[in-house]
């Protein structure tokens, strides 16, 4: 696991669209582990999933920050104890 970067998970910036990878499948929501979505933080703890990459499917749901990996500078990162750390391969 890589070095962590401490982050503030306070007020979200609602204008930044990022890539998010699902960490755990959820049949009820119709999302699968490993799928990548464009999304936006809509609260301090949740991500709104807008469109699956590459087909644009909109699941019309949100995920908690700890249920997704975030794409930051070509690296998938997860949040552990309010710190971004590189996702294990």
Q: How much is the average pLDDT of 2-13? A: 51
In degrees rounded to 5, what are phi and psi of residue 69? -100, 145
% of residues, the chain, pLDDT over 70 = 82
**Encoded tokens for 75:** 């690296």
Could you tell me the pTM of the whole model?
0.79
pLDDT at 1 over 50: no
Residue 33 has pLDDT above 80, yes or no: yes
pLDDT score of 7 more than 70? no
User: What distance in Å separates the CA atoms of residue 89 and residue 82, rounded to the nearest whole number?
Assistant: 20
């Amino acid at each position: 696991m890589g070095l962590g970067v401490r982050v503030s998970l306070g007020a979200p910036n609602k204008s930044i669209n990022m890539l998010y990878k699902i960490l755990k499948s959820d049949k009820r929501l119709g999302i699968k582990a490993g799928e990548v979505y464009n999304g936006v933080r809509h609260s301090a703890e949740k991500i709104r999933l807008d469109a699956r990459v590459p087909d644009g499917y909109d699941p019309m749901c949100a995920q908690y920050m700890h249920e997704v990996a975030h794409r930051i500078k070509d690296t998938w990162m997860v949040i552990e104890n309010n710190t971004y750390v590189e996702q294990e391969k």
